[in-house]
Structure 1
Amino acid sequence: MQVLYTANARATGDGRDGHVRTSDGTFDLDLAIPKEMGGAGGAANPEQLFAAGYAACFHSALRLVARRASADVTGSVVDAEVGIGPNGSGGFGLAVTLVVDLPAVPRPAAEQLVEQAHQVCPYSNATRGNVEVALTVREALAA
């Protein structure tokens, strides 16, 4: 693989109760363990960061495959839900649900585009076989 771009981020402090910053300073956040996991909450956490990155990346892949298919992506949205929990082997695992809105595309075509995007998206390719990823096409709202 020819690398086109490399991101660099540094974590300091106490990991999940620490701080993260990118090398270019565009992203500079305190982290806190969520209340649901026994922490104080009130700051970002790694699962939120992963969800944001996956949603943005998947949306970009979706728009790419839609453009190739001449599909209308007006009003498209991707929501990513990232869950964390014990994996049964003494560690932790992640589960992801991607919920996609493609209001201008009929449902069967939308489902096909979402599946194609899942083959193109770098996050999907990185998680495949390692993280459970559920794909959902949300029903279009009535006009």
Structure 2
Amino acid sequence: MFSRIALRSTQAAQQIPRQSISTPRTMLTAAKSLYTAKASATGGGRANGTAKSETTSFTVSIQPPGSESNTNPEELVALGYSTCFLGAMKVAAQQIGKSGPSDAAKSFADVTLNSTDSKTSPFTISTHLTIEDTKHDIDTLVAVAKQTHTVCPYEIAFKGNIKQSFTAIAKDGKSESW
């Protein structure tokens, strides 16, 4: 899914004119591959399947959403998205001259599987990401989070392809959603 995404080094990314989050993104040209994760799935896929990393020892049983004892694809996307976004906030903060997320910062990703009336595309996913940082004011947190939309690989892949929403919660309890 993410093989179409090309990553640039931080220095190369800083030389690209910044886009506002409302500007459609275009695919970037790969400057250098940084990492390729390899995985396989066997069995029933979403129902009674197994997903296994081919690059590490990580293996997980896959069950349909709602199963309490095993995981599902949406949970795996949420794990990757929340960690990637939080890490990308450090790069974004540097790009706009702000301090990055504190060690107390948390990101929470909700990845929702939706059904549609379409016969050709009966399912979609949507996301809601919440960033919480008890060390930053709301203006700084929102500015950094919005800049992160231009550097986080998940954000670049999701933008324009799925419905997304965001919330930032700052040190004084103030929040902003977009």
Quickly name the TM-score band, shorter chain normalised. Answer: 0.7 to 0.9
Higher helix share: 1
Structure 1 residues 72 and 25: CA distance shift in structure 2, 3 A: closer
Per-residue Cα deviation, 1:59-96 (whole angstroms, up to 9, x for no partner): 11112222452415221111100001113313100110
- Matched residue, 2:39: 9
* Equivalenced residues, count: 138
Deviation, structure 1 residue 133: 1.3
Gaps of 5+ in 2: 1-29, 174-178
Q: Normalized against structure 2, the TM-score is what?
A: 0.72
Percent of aligned positions with the same letter in both sequences? 28
Q: Distance in 2 between matches of 1:49 and 1:98?
A: 15
Deviation, structure 1 residue 104: 1.5
Ranges of 4+ aligned residues in structure 1 off by more than 6 Å: none
Is residue 137 of structure 2 the alignment partner of residue 87 of structure 1?
Answer: no
Q: Distance in 1 between matches of 2:50 and 2:56?
A: 12
- Mean alpha-carbon deviation: is it higher for 65-74 or for 129-138? 65-74
1:134 partner SS: strand
Residue identity opposite 2:77 in structure 1: F
1:120 partner SS: coil
1:29 partner SS: strand
Is residue 142 of structure 2 the alignment partner of residue 114 of structure 1?
Answer: no
Q: Distance in 2 between matches of 1:127 and 1:61?
A: 15
Where does 1:1-143 land on structure 2 (aligned, <5 Å)?
1=30, 2-17=32-47, 18-35=49-66, 40-68=67-95, 69-71=97-99, 73-74=101-102, 75-90=104-119, 91-140=122-171
Contact 2:142 2:168 in 1 (8 A): yes
Deviation, structure 1 residue 46: 0.1
Q: Normalized against structure 1, the TM-score is what?
A: 0.88
Q: Distance in 2 between matches of 1:20 and 1:4?
A: 23
Gaps of 5+ in 1: none
